[in-house]
Amino acid sequence: MEHTGFATLVRDVYHDFAAFPRRESTWIILGVGGGWQCSPTQLTTMVNARLVSSSAADRIWKPGHIIGGPVMYVVPVALYVGGRYVVPHATNAETQTNKWSHLGLDLIRAEILTEAIVQGLKVSVQRTRPNGENYSFPSGHAAATFALATVLERHLGYRLAWPTLAIATYVATSRLHDNVHFLSDVIFGSAIGTATGWTVVGRHGRTNYAFAPTPVPGGMALMVSWKTQAN
């Protein structure tokens, strides 16, 4: 079991920044996401216009700003703190660590790397948003949610990650409806989040969790089991 203390966080974040540009997958993912920068202006304008004009969907997409913003910062920290100080520690660990603190640590690393890259690009590119404000490219909300979904897929397996991917897509679409991003902004933001998530989880094996309802005296319980696969 890996340690999950603050020193480990600092060390791993440093290695994440070093590894990000060296991974072949990073440039493949960013290349696919960046390809949308060449899409016709008419297409992106039409997509924004259709979503913005859909007043009936206001209530549907309204939570997207909260989910892609504050929630993305709270969930990793909550998992990390809960894993270290609430959930019982792993029996073979020398420090306060278990599967949940490890997951929380990876999520925090992914969000730090994502946020640094996104903010650096925003300041460098200074693309004007559809509503006239600044710092449109890329979408930080899309990047944060896809980074979280990517890390969860690595830890929990793709079956349990599907809901998170659906939420990430929902958040990205909500940014178009709010008229604060272009289609290319959210697609490239999604690519950044995926690439940073892969960088964070690329240095250790996959841990697959299995959730199964199990009958117990007096009712049912949700049992959790896991197995680790080498890269």
Angle at 159 (CA atoms; ends 156, 4), nearest 5 degrees: 10
The domains of the chain are located at 6-202
What's the pLDDT score for residue 1? 45
Cα dihedral 96/208/171/9 (nearest 10): 30
What stretches of 64-134 show up as alpha helix (H) in DSSP? 64-66, 72-85, 99-125
The candidate with the shortest Cα–Cα distance to 193, out of 155, 151, 231, is 151
Task: Give backbone dihedrals phi and psi of 208, rounded to 5 degrees, phi first.
Answer: -95, 125
* Token pair in block for residue 2: 């890996």
Tokens 């896809």 label which residue? 146
Q: Which fold, 6-202?
A: Vanadium-containing Chloroperoxidase; domain 1 (1.20.144)
The candidate with the shortest Cα–Cα distance to 173, out of 70, 65, 69, is 65
What's the pLDDT score for residue 94? 55
In single-letter form, the type of residue at position 165 comes to L
pTM of the model as a whole: 0.77
What are the mean pLDDT values of the chain's consecutive 10-residue runs (231 residues total)?
74 94 92 74 60 63 74 88 77 64 92 96 92 90 92 83 85 82 90 95 56 47 44 39
What's the pLDDT score for residue 227? 47
What's the pLDDT score for residue 193? 95
Distances (CA, A) of 84 to 61, 105, 111: 34, 10, 19
- Cβ of 31: how many Cβ atoms within 10 Å? 10
What's the pLDDT score for residue 90? 60
What's the pLDDT score for residue 48? 61
